[in-house]
Amino acid sequence: MSGHSKWSTIKRKKSAEDAKRGKMFTRLARDITLAARNGGDPNANPTLRLAIEKARAANMPKENIERAIKRGTGELEGGAPEEVMYEGYAPHGVALLIKCLTDNRNRTLAEIRRVLNRGGGNLAEAGAVTWMFESKGLITIERGGRDPDDLFMMAVDAGAEDVDVSSEIVEVYTEPADLRVVAEALQKRGIKVEDAELSMVPKTLVSLDEKETLQVLHLIEQLEELEDVQQIYSNLDVPEEILATA
Question: CB under 8 Å to 55, separation ≥6 — which residues?
Answer: 25, 28, 29, 31, 32, 64, 65, 68
Residue-averaged pLDDT of the chain: 85
Instruction: Decide: 51 and 231 in contact? Cβ < 8 Å.
Output: no
Lowest mean pLDDT among 13-22, 128-137, 168-177: 13-22
Q: How sure is the predictor about 82, in pLDDT bands with cuts at 50, 70 and 90?
A: confident
Given pLDDT bands bounded at 50, 70 and 90, which one contains residue 1? very low
Question: Could you read off the pLDDT of 86-140 as tens digits, one per residue?
Answer: 999 999 999 999 999 887 899 999 999 999 999 999 999 999 999 999 999 998 8
Cα distance between residue 87 and residue 104, in whole Å: 17
What is the pTM for the complete model shown? 0.78
What is the tens place of the pLDDT at every residue in 194-232?
778 888 999 999 999 999 999 999 999 899 888 888 889
Q: For position 225, what pLDDT does the model report?
A: 85
Query: How far, in Å, CA of 235 to CA of 239, rounded?
Result: 13
Domains of the chain, each with CATH number or no CATH: 3-73 (1.10.10.200), 82-131+204-243 (3.30.70.980), 133-202 (3.30.70.980)
SS3 of 59-92: the string is CCCHHHHHHHHHHHHCCCCCCCCEEEEEEEECHH
State how far the Cα of 109 lies from the Cα of 223, in Å rounded to an integer: 11
